[in-house]
Amino acid sequence: MGLRMMAAAALVAFPLAAGAQTLRVGLIAQDMGTTDPHRASATQDKAPLSWAHDALVRFPPGSADPARLEPDLAEGFTRSPDGLTYTFRLRQGVRFHDGSPLEGEDVVFSLRRAADPARSAFSSDYAPVAAVELVDPMTVRVTLREAVAGALGLFANYHGGMIVSRRADAGGFQQGTGPFRMERAAGGQARMVAFDGHWRGRPAIRAIDLRFITSDATRELAYTAGELDLIIGRREQRWVERMRALPNTAVEVFGPGEFRTILISSRSAPLNDPRVRRAVQHAIDPGAIARFVGLDVATPWASPVPPGYLGATQEVPRFAPDPTRARALLAEAGHRDGVAIRAVVSSNSAQLPIMEVVQAQLRRAGIRLEMDVVEHATYHARIRQDLSQITFYGAARYPVADSYLGQFYHSRSAPGRPTMSLNFAHCDAADAEIDAARAEPDEARQMALWAAAQRKILEAGCSVPLYDLLQVWVRRANVNLGYRLEGSLNLGPPVTQATRIE
């Protein structure tokens, strides 16, 4: 029996898990990568470990908006006027999973651990931290060397912000204060159990069974056969539509997405002429590309900073798709017969079809795109060797404008620099604004600087922003998340004490 027939046969008898209160989750991976929240850089680890750990502040469940951060393990905090000192007052009565109390020393230990390259995958985020000090048993002060855009995010329930027990860590494992604790993880499965002593209340879900399944088809079949309640899905329009047609099923599409951009290098001819870069901007039609991907999963966006990021703006120059205008710009630059440019392109299914559409759009404007199609690891190596004149790249970062502007558009992040990151455009048009915004304590002024940076980047022809590719998860309709899911920085739906199976 084929996959579709098997799935259809399974639909007639979805076993609902009401009363059992065991949530069965399907993730993409062969196994859990780590149970250490400060090393959880892989997608399959981020969500489960966020269910086990709290932080000083948190994104409200269902939100990835840094402007909405709220107290969590800290009952309150203050920030100095210069933005360099944060003082956190800890909540009384919070306990770790072994019953030991949360103390200021645990917070000091956790933040110092997050900044330690030997113990954290996110240590570079904490490089601006000069000191973490215990003011009294339940008060912690953090001092920064310099102002950091979105600094409060360093203490949020994401990456290095997770708080762990100093006592448990001394025993060789990490323990949190979250609503669920990790009981075991091995052999392609993991189990989490409710922590009834959670300070927000007894979780309604009693256990979470995780299954790691690399095959999309196998994971989908396990869902339609009634073996899973919540799965990570395919970020494809047709797949989303097909799953929405299933009974007792809800499809969650949410941010932050992986923002797709075409970066235009100014280092070599003919793209060292701004008129040719502008021709590329007029030749590419981001709206058509987003429609090709599917508007349910791909959000068109005109700015270099992705949607939902603090400081993102749509008040930027727009370059209407216009092959005639592009050809006129090429002629003005001395290229009446058109130009040829080259791109290193990944062969994976998330990139190659998009670049084939881009190639066809450029061709209509007299721009011949010569694609060097290679496997994904080689693509990453070659673009970092500066071998691609235009580079398709997709990424998600902490949702503050500085994280994207600094990595993708500051000159210090260009290939060949000791501090290189992802500025394959060799853009330097907004260095002054990016630097000034990072150190600006006045929020209104900071927003204005970020907006100016985004305008200058596009005016200089550094890129063509395309679309935000959103996260896709599928759940049974009787799984009540307990909130409206609009975003999750940990790339999966938060499972909280309020989540329940009805």
- Across the range 174-178, mean pLDDT stands at 96
Q: How confident is the model at residue 289 (pLDDT cuts 50, 70, 90)?
A: very high
Distance CA 209, CA 234 (A): 21
- Vertex 378 angle, CA 373 and 380, to 5°: 100
Q: How confident is the model at residue 441 (pLDDT cuts 50, 70, 90)?
A: confident
Residues 473/294, Cβ–Cβ less than 8 Å: no
Distance CA 484, CA 494 (A): 11
- Vertex 185 angle, CA 181 and 188, to 5°: 140
Which of 6-15, 141-150, 209-218 is the least confident region?
Answer: 6-15
Bridge partners for 400 per DSSP: 310
The pLDDT, as a whole number, for residue 123 is: 92
pLDDT per residue as tens digits for the range 233-276: 999 999 999 999 999 999 999 999 999 999 999 999 999 999 99
Residues 233/466, Cβ–Cβ less than 8 Å: no
Stated pTM of the model: 0.88
Distance CA 86, CA 91 (A): 16
Q: Is it the case that residue 211 has pLDDT exceeding 90? A: yes
Using alpha carbons, list the distances in angstroms from residue 411 to 159, 271, 281, 420, 439. 27, 17, 21, 9, 17
Distance CA 240, CA 171 (A): 45
Q: Is it the case that residue 17 has pLDDT exceeding 90? A: no
Q: Is it the case that residue 14 has pLDDT exceeding 90? A: no
What residue type is 115 in one-letter code? Answer: A
The pLDDT, as a whole number, for residue 439 is: 84
Query: From its phi and psi, is residue 383 left (phi > 0), alpha (psi between -120 and 50) or beta?
Result: alpha
DSSP E strands, 316-419 = 339-346, 367-374, 390-395
Q: Which two tokens stand for residue 382?
A: 């070659």
Q: Is it the case that residue 19 has pLDDT exceeding 50? A: no
How deeply is 337 buried, as exposed, middle or buried, from its count of CB atoms within 10 A (0-12, 13-18, 19+)? exposed
- Across the range 182-208, mean pLDDT stands at 97
Domains assigned to the chain: 1-53+178-248+477-502 (3.40.190.10), 54-173 (3.90.76.10), 256-469 (3.10.105.10)
Higher-confidence position of 150 and 252? 252
What residue type is 109 in one-letter code? Answer: F
Find the Cα–Cα–Cα–Cα dihedral 403, 409, 415, 420, rounded to 10°.
Answer: -30
Distance CA 169, CA 108 (A): 13
Residue 90: which residues within 8 A CB-CB, separation 6 or more? 73, 74, 75, 102, 103, 104, 107, 138, 139, 140
Q: Is it the case that residue 189 has pLDDT exceeding 90? A: yes
239: helix, coil or strand?
helix
Closest to 497 (Cα-Cα) out of 50, 182, 194: 194
The H or E element that residue 299 is part of is strand 298-300
CA 290 to chain centre: 19
- Across the range 51-79, mean pLDDT stands at 97
Quote the DSSP letter at residue 71: E
Percent of the chain with pLDDT over 90: 90
Per the listing, tokens 């047609």 go with: 245
CA 261 to chain centre: 15
Higher-confidence position of 42 and 228? 228
- Across the range 491-502, mean pLDDT stands at 97
- Across the range 410-434, mean pLDDT stands at 96
Percent of the chain with pLDDT over 70: 96
Find the Cα–Cα–Cα–Cα dihedral 450, 456, 459, 460, rounded to 10°.
Answer: -130
Q: Is it the case that residue 204 has pLDDT exceeding 70? A: yes
- Across the range 479-488, mean pLDDT stands at 97
DSSP code per residue over 108-156 = HHHHHHHT-TTT-TTGGGGTTEEEEEEEETTEEEEEESS--TTGGGGGS
Higher-confidence position of 82 and 356? 356
Q: Which two tokens stand for residue 433?
A: 């604004």
**pLDDT, averaged across the chain:** 94
How deeply is 275 buried, as exposed, middle or buried, from its count of CB atoms within 10 A (0-12, 13-18, 19+)? middle
Longest dimension (CA), the chain: 75
401: helix, coil or strand?
helix
What letters, b where the CB count within 10 A reaches 16 and e where it falls short, cover 165-194? bbebbeeeebbbbbbbbbeebeeeebbbbb
Distance CA 144, CA 126 (A): 9
The pLDDT, as a whole number, for residue 8 is: 36
Q: At 148, phi and psi to the nearest 5?
A: -125, 125
Distance CA 498, CA 97 (A): 18
Distance CA 410, CA 423 (A): 7
